[in-house]
A and B are shown apart, each in its own frame.
Chain A
């Protein structure tokens, strides 16, 4: 186990370095120049030049790259092109916000999908299974922004039960988590269903029944525990989607998360903030994948990484 963690951490550093360099190259490859964006469409050219000089955009690329990389090694991610605020100050608080939103959404999605998926597999082919499949398919085809806006108007404006924007109280969590979670729950339900159908077909299920175990125990103890193995890997993949999906949810619910910051920084060509946001986004994801692998070894006694 420790060897796995160590190798993954080493990889994180390496991947981080490669990612930052790749982003730097990519940024300078795509059109769009921060100085012109700041000056506005109708600004005269010499104004754009003056901004470029003032902010050091005109330095040769390799100089910018080397100085940035040196500072990153010392933990300084530079300052935002525009607000001149240190990138860490901008990015770090938002990591928590996105982690909270994506985390709760994942928890909600996992619990709902495990329950619905198991029941649907238990009554395989029956009406319950049909209903659950229909529900999950509807969930998969409804874009996050549709559920979001409908949720806002139904529960926020008309019924006035739930607050809409920001994250100042726990009630603020409900709508965004349900919106993001519902989509993921639908995806996961279909996955859990097929894994459970597979597990319920195994021989040890007959043994369990022959031992006199009630159906509840057969499904939720014996079958589910086995189905967990493929499910955990699929949930790991799901995290990627949830983090991706959080971008739209954060925009709709005015949630100050990392996803929105990443998109804004790309659109306004704020390179340091963009690199910082994507870098930490990647680190979160790699750590979550590490967690999934560790969970896997705990779940499956046959696999061990030592």
Chain B
């Protein structure tokens, strides 16, 4: 069954004062319909840019250099990169077939309009229907995302709601046209832990009744464990590892993934005294590095690593972009 969304060799550049930065450098992945793909990586690794590129929301000074984004929409499969950025078809997809929610609920909602108006707008942009019916659908949507007294909340402005409530409204707004794919760009990062848990539970319930799939972007491995079916790990604009969630946590292959797992407090079981940090820092985006970008910080760096860029290799399910695994020797893997 062909995947709902397949990204092949996506490259997005940004013009900065110090030259052209390759924020997304040949990223490929695919999402099966009904499954949730988690994208994890440190900030600045290109995960948000990738998500915006899918909806062609890359504002100047960035632009899509090359690559394909094949989306199996309701009618037929089409490459979103080929479509005119603000054309009728692209606008129909945005919010209609692919929806998106953002990290900062406070600034992502328009402060001068009520959340009711903004939700009705999301609906009526794609379905023409009388205002009254749209209102009911919006109130129903608020109820479905667990907003108490939805009727009254409908007339309130964003600044009158709490962070969690605002994020729920964002979700309601996104889901109102029941899109096939929901892109969630770090939806819970800005919330405090208790609210974060509630929103994640809400998203999990939604996953059951909603047959579409979710692209869940976060830097928090704990959240990925609970939410994602499959995971891709990104580092400096490239996918360094992709695997089903269980395999990734049990047998992380790429040294960077292993480093991440060891440094995430929520995952470290048992009596590990101290967390381990990955030495060094992520190199500047405009800096051109030969070979594997992680080489300067990698404990198992080999001469090959500095010459050629390791391709994403491995079995059908679990692949990593690192020469350690290219000759498939299991013991090499356990010794680490």
Contacts and interface: CB of A to CB of B under 8 A. Distances in A.
Q: A and B: real partners?
A: yes
B157 interface: yes
Interface string B83-126: 00010000111111001101010011111110000000110011
A145 to B, nearest CB: 40
Nearest to B86: A215
A203 B93 contact: no
A225 interface: yes
Q: Is the interface of A mostly helix, strand, loop or mixed?
A: helix
A301 B94 contact: no
B159 interface: yes
B53 interface: no
A213 B121 CA distance: 9
A302 B111 contact: yes
Interface centre among A215, A225, A301 (most CB of B within 10 A): A301
B191 interface: no
Interface string A210-244: 11111100000010011001000000000000000
Contact of A210 (B57, B107, B111, B113): B57
A210 B109 contact: no
Nearest to B52: A206
A202 interface: yes
B121 A203 contact: no
Contacts of B52: 206
Contacts of B110: 204, 207-208, 222, 225-226
A300 interface: yes
A130 interface: no
B173 interface: yes
Contacts of A43: none
A71 interface: no
B7 interface: no
A299 B110 CA distance: 13
Contact of A301 (B91, B126, B159): B159
Contacts, number: 70
Nearest to A213: B125
Contacts of A53: none
A210 B179 CA distance: 12
A215 B59 CA distance: 13
B95 A203 contact: no
A210 B99 contact: yes
A301 B155 CA distance: 12
B55 interface: yes
Interface centre among A204, A207, A299, A300 (most CB of B within 10 A): A207
B46 to A, nearest CB: 17
Nearest to B104: A203
Contact of A204 (B100, B111, B125): B111
Interface in A190-210: 202-204, 206-210
Nearest to B96: A212
Given A210-B100, A212-B92, A299 B125 contact: no
Interface centre among A206, A209, A222, A302 (most CB of B within 10 A): A209
Interface string B200-241: 000000000000000000000000000000000000000000
B108 A207 contact: yes
A208 B126 CA distance: 13
A299 B112 contact: yes
Contact of A212 (B59, B93, B109, B157): B93
Interface in A50-64: none
A207 B112 contact: no
Given A211-B173, A212-B125, 12 more contacts: A207-B108, A207-B170, A208-B110, A209-B55, A210-B94, A210-B102, A211-B94, A212-B93, A212-B96, A226-B111, A302-B111, A302-B159
Interface of A: 202-204, 206-215, 222, 225-226, 229, 299-302
* A-B CB proximity, top 9 nearest: A212-B95, A212-B94, A203-B107, A211-B95, A204-B110, A210-B100, A212-B91, A301-B157, A211-B122
25 contacts: A203-B107, A204-B107, A204-B109, A206-B52, A206-B59, A206-B102, A207-B102, A207-B109, A208-B110, A210-B99, A210-B102, A211-B121, A211-B122, A211-B173, A213-B121, A222-B113, A225-B112, A225-B113, A226-B111, A226-B112, A299-B112, A301-B111, A301-B112, A302-B111, A302-B157
